Each structure stands twice: as C-alpha cells, then as structure tokens.
Amino acid sequence: MKFLTDEKLTIVGAAGMIGSNMAQTALLLRLTPNLCLYDVYEPGLKGVAAEINHCAFKGAKVTYTTDPAVAFKNANYIISSGGAPRKEGMTREDLLKGNCQIAEDFGKNVKKYCPKVKHVVVIFNPADLTGLVVLLHSGLKPEQVTTLAALDSTRFQTALAEEFKVEQSKVTGCYTYGGHGEQMAVFASKVKIDGTPLTKYLGTKKLPVARFEEIKQNVIQGGAAIIKLRGRSSFQSPAVNAVEMIAAAMGGEKYTWPAGTYVNEGKYHNVMMAMPTTIDETGVHFKKVTGMKDELAALDKSYEHLCTMRDELVTLGIMPPVAEWKKANPNL
C-alpha cells in the first residue's frame, strides 16, 4: 500500500501517550514514511521511537530528536500535543498560562524553522487559546492552523447512540460549537436518530427534557469522566482525530467534524473556536452556524468566554493587544 505523500510530518510531544498514538496511527493509515518525532523528554522519546520501529512499518523512515531546529526544519505538516495534560479535578482552562507559553514557543519555532509548513494541528488544552497563540506567533494564514474540537461532538454522538441503543454511525448531525471547554454550545436541532429528528423524541417518554439536559452535561464533562475512569487524560480519541485532520490537509479524505478555526467575521471576532468546518488540502474552511435561538445564545456565551480568556493572555503578555496583531502576523 502506497503512502498518501512523502512529505515530512512532525509529531510534537511524541514521548507522551497522545503523541505516540498519533505516530502509530499516522503510519497505520500510511500518511507518509517521512515521520519525525520530537519531544524534550529524551528517554521517553527514545522508547517511543524504538516501539514504532519494532512495529516494522514497511517503508517507514522514522527519525526522532530533542532539537527543535531539526524537528521543525522543512516540516510540511505538524501535529502538536506538546503541552501539559489535564489531571483529575482540572478544567481545560486551568492549563491556560503554562500551555499558552508553550504554544508561544511552538509558534515561534514554526516561524523560524518551517515558515512554508502547509498545515498545523494543535491539540493541547485549552486548545482554542493555544491554537490562537500558535497562529499569531507562527505568522501562518488562518486556514493553515486548526485545533482539535471534534471530541465533544463524537462524545455527543456516542451518548445518544447508547441512549437510543442504535449503532453510533446511525446518529447524525451531532455537533458542538464555540469553545472546547466547559462553555461549549451543544447543538441538537439537526440531530437524527436513524433518520428520525431528535426533536420528535425530545420531551416524550423516549427522551424526557431532564434526561436530555443530563446527557448534555455528561458530554460537557466527557473529558473529565475519562480521567476518572482511566486515571489520565484521553489519548486514543484525540490521536485518531488529529491524524485524520492532518490526513485531510495532506489530500486524503475530507475531515468534516467540527474543528477549531480562526474566526473574524459577523459577530465573532479574533478568536479560535469550533465551527461547521471542512479540512481539505487547501486548508480549513468554515460556514456560518445555524440553529435554534437557545443554541445560538449558548454559542454567544461560549464566544464571550473565549474573549475573556484571550484578553487574559494579553494581560499576561503572551499575546499583544488585538489591535497590534497584524504587526505579529500580517495574515490576521
């Protein structure tokens, strides 16, 4: 089986559970033989590289390094999980300062060593903010940087499939938009259960309103639930989705789950947030969110929360004031 491309893919944070799973998934899906693993933790990095080589992927040319100059040089595509993971009792927002400082260094490395990179996927939390910091400091175009947001939607789909006892793929139209955090907006108006609109069940014995509100809260707390069950943050689902995102940017199958993207139009400005998106070889493209009045109000509230956190980063000196962004990145 041929590889999708032979261009360089760099995995940042490769010594971690998400990073190592991304490396394995990328090779299983035959994205590229040219895979570079990067992490500052050398023992773990060497261990992951050894494991990947022990898999004996035919044609793979895996390299690893703790030097960002080597890892980023001539990279065509990058996925980064290189931030601190969330621990039990923490929200994604609790990681704001430390991980956004990491994101700042990451963005600057992109600008310095691989300004011609085609696409970057950022998946370490709080992803809406770390992705925005990377975009600002990398100098890339908005369509070249995306963040992981799909897990909220896939968790929503999973919950409804379990509730209605149907195959998960038969539940469609499950999307969450806005922030990838406690303030996400859960949209149900377009959901169908095996072809039947969810709205036909809502408020009936099949799905009482109170039960649906419970499901929504379980979706919002889905990441925290994984931590309680496994003793660590999610790693398999983010790895698969991140690799599928970068595969789409490489020219593979289009990725149509919501992704975090830079938004600066309509009533939403200067934020990275989940939207109805499509990722393909030309980058990420989004369209306007449509839904019921209460859903759109929830999205507005999520946007306001993102603005508050963005402004906190300005106060911390990690980002300049919005009015000065074009000096740092003329593409914004």
pTM for the model: 0.94
At residue 245, the 3 state secondary structure works out as helix
For residue 272, give the 3-state DSSP assignment. Answer: strand
For the residues 264-280, what does the mean pLDDT come to? 97
86 pLDDT band (50/70/90 cuts)?
very low
Amino acid, res. 72: F
Give the residue extent of every domain in the chain. Answer: 9-148
Q: Name the average pLDDT for the chain.
A: 94
Beta carbons of 134 and 107 less than 8 angstroms apart: yes
Fold observed for domain 9-148 = Rossmann fold (3.40.50)
Ordered DSSP codes for 147-201? EE-HHHHHHHHHHHHHHHT--GGGEE--EEEB-SSTT-EEE-TT-EETTEEGGGT
- Mind listing the pLDDT tens digit for each residue in 111-124? 999 999 999 999 98
pLDDT of residue 183: 84
Neighbouring residues of 51: CB distance < 8 A, sequence distance ≥ 6:
20
Tokens representing 169? 């793929």
| pLDDT for position 90 | 45
Q: What is the pLDDT of residue 88?
A: 55
Give φ, ψ of 120 to 5 degrees: -125, 130
Query: What type of residue is 186?
Result: V
Q: What is the pLDDT of residues 187-234, one digit of tens each?
A: 999 999 999 999 999 999 999 999 999 999 999 888 788 888 898 888
Q: Print the SS3 string covering 42-104.
A: HHHHHHHHHHHHHCCCCCCEEEEECCHHHHHCCCCEEEECCCCCCCCCCCHHHHHHHHHHHHH
* pLDDT of 228: 87
**Are the C-beta atoms of 132 and 272 separated by less than 8 Å?**
yes
- The per-residue pLDDT for range 116-171, each reduced to its tens digit, is 999 999 998 889 999 999 999 999 999 999 999 999 999 999 999 999 999 999 99
- Cα–Cα distance for residue pair 88/150, rounded to 1 Å: 21
